[in-house]
Amino acid sequence: MRSRNKLLDERRFDPSWLSGIEEQMATLGIAMAMARQEMLGLLVRLIEETRETSPFPSASLDLAGFMDGQFDRPAVDLEDEYAAQLAESRYRDAAAGRTLEGPHRADLLVRHRDKRMDAARCSTGEQKALLVGLIMAHARLVANLTDHAPILLLDEIAAHLDESRRAALFDLIDALGGQAFMTGTDRSMFAALGNRAQFFTVADGRVFE
């Protein structure tokens, strides 16, 4: 895409050169988009399976902004269509200074399932709970696919969560079975961990237990 943008910026509309680049963009772009769709499907199914037992709100997920609703078609057809879109939009993209169509333009849409509300319209606490739920669902999915729990790096994860949800989060992390590094400025927020964790203090350029 950078190569194509550079050619368009320099007004070098060589059809052979641009077509070659656009064919590569179409092949790789559709592969990326289909991989995202597959991953999203796995994540949605996992969220659905754990919906009744999860302490966090259930999220509805979708991708929008590129080839919407077309990924039930053969990849080769999507590649041809995207390559044609790129060829048709050369002058428009040259004027814009960027590529206006592609998987880089796709967005992940998140909704609070029970409230039927876009995440952007939810309260800060609800947004945090939705995000934590997604992070833990993705961690479980990685563990299921690889048989190895991922390492979790969770900065200020306890902020904006009430006491019961903090305790539930720590139980989920413990059940996952991997390593988790959590930071916070208030040790009391991690009380529910009990003796399941090591505590370290960072102060004056030193780290000590």
pLDDT in tens, 104-114: 999 999 999 99
Same domain membership, residue 194 and residue 122: no
Which residues, 6+ apart, have CB-to-CB distance to 198 below 8 Å? 209
pLDDT band at 160 (very low <50, low <70, confident <90, very high): confident
- If one counts every other C-beta atom within 10 angstroms of the C-beta of residue 119, the result is 18
Q: What is the enclosing helix (H) or strand (E) of 154?
A: strand 152-155
Residue 136 lies in a domain: no
Same domain membership, residue 156 and residue 117: no
Q: What local confidence, expressed as pLDDT, does residue 161 receive?
A: 85
- Identify the domain containing residue 198 by its residue range: 151-209
Q: What local confidence, expressed as pLDDT, does residue 148 receive?
A: 93
Same domain membership, residue 102 and residue 31: yes
Q: Report yes or no: 127 and 42 within 8 Å, Cβ to Cβ.
A: no
pLDDT of residue 53 exceeding 90: no
Q: Report yes or no: 113 and 44 within 8 Å, Cβ to Cβ.
A: no
Number of domains comprising the chain: 2
pLDDT band at 72 (very low <50, low <70, confident <90, very high): very high
Q: What local confidence, expressed as pLDDT, does residue 125 receive?
A: 85
Same domain membership, residue 161 and residue 124: no
Same domain membership, residue 102 and residue 195: no
pLDDT in tens, 3-33: 999 999 999 999 999 999 999 999 999 999 9
Name residue 182's beta-bridge partners.
Answer: 154
Same domain membership, residue 155 and residue 93: no
Distance of alpha carbon 16 from alpha carbon 20, whole angstroms: 6
**Mean pLDDT in residue range 194-198:** 92
